[in-house]
Homo-oligomer: A and B are copies of this chain.
Amino acid sequence: MSALSDREIVAAARKIIAEVGVDGLTMRLLSTELGVALGATYHHVPTKHHLLVLVGRDLFHEVSLPSPPVGDWAAQVKALMLRLADVVGRYPGMAGYMLAHVDDTFPAELHQQLVDILAHAGFAESSIAAVLGALRFYVSGMAAGGPSLAAAESFHGVDVRGLFDEGLDLLFAGARLRLDDDLAGRRPPAPA
């Protein structure tokens, strides 16, 4: 009927990635899923990389959907991180790809959302960068472990979800100390 749309393509790609991971996603497999020839897919998506960037953006956008803020800054940020790990973790191999191309995929909305929460709590500008940077590494590492880590409940005998949660609290505890410093006296912006 109608011509192939980007939304259809991204949806089909997500379905395939959820099942067989980024490596299992094949331009041929995607075309079959869409019911078109290989060339047709390439007519809409110039390259597999571009396709994955579209998927990454789609996932991020799903996370940054508006939701009523509940709790203090830590609770709000934590909820966002858990949702992010949850959503992205469902697509094996995507986290690593998204991390390697944050600048292409990370939406300004979500970033601003996080910055606003921390700024409103009283974090200094440099602290916001530190906290968000740490969270990026942490969440990426969690989700980047591939299916074995993100999807599985238990890994190597330990509860991954609980471990992720506990580590997040560790990070927030450290951030809280830094916030106290910010709220009290100024800290020099790191000696040169």
Check B99 against A144 for contact (C-beta < 8 Å): yes
Contacting A144 at CB < 8 Å: which of B101, B131, B140? B140
A172 contacts partner chain B, Cβ-Cβ < 8 Å: yes
A8 contacts partner chain B, Cβ-Cβ < 8 Å: no
A103-B156 contact given A163-B129, A174-B173, CB 8 Å threshold: yes
A124 contacts partner chain B, Cβ-Cβ < 8 Å: no
Check B102 against A134 for contact (C-beta < 8 Å): no
Q: A residues 146-187 with Cβ under 8 Å of B?
A: 146, 148-149, 156, 158, 162-164, 166-175, 177-178
Q: Please give the distance in Å from A143's CB to the nearest CB on chain B.
A: 8
Contacting A174 at CB < 8 Å: which of B99, B102, B156, B170? B170
With the chains together, A164 CA to B172 CA distance in Å? 16
A10 contacts partner chain B, Cβ-Cβ < 8 Å: no
Q: A residues 95-119 with Cβ under 8 Å of B?
A: 96, 99-103
Query: Which residues of chain B have C-beta atoms less than 8 A from A174's C-beta?
Result: 169-175, 177
Interface string of A132-146 (1 = CB under 8 A from B): 011011111110111
Residue numbers of A with Cβ under 8 A of B are 96, 99-103, 129-131, 133-134, 136-142, 144-146, 148-149, 156, 158, 162-164, 166-175, 177-178, 190
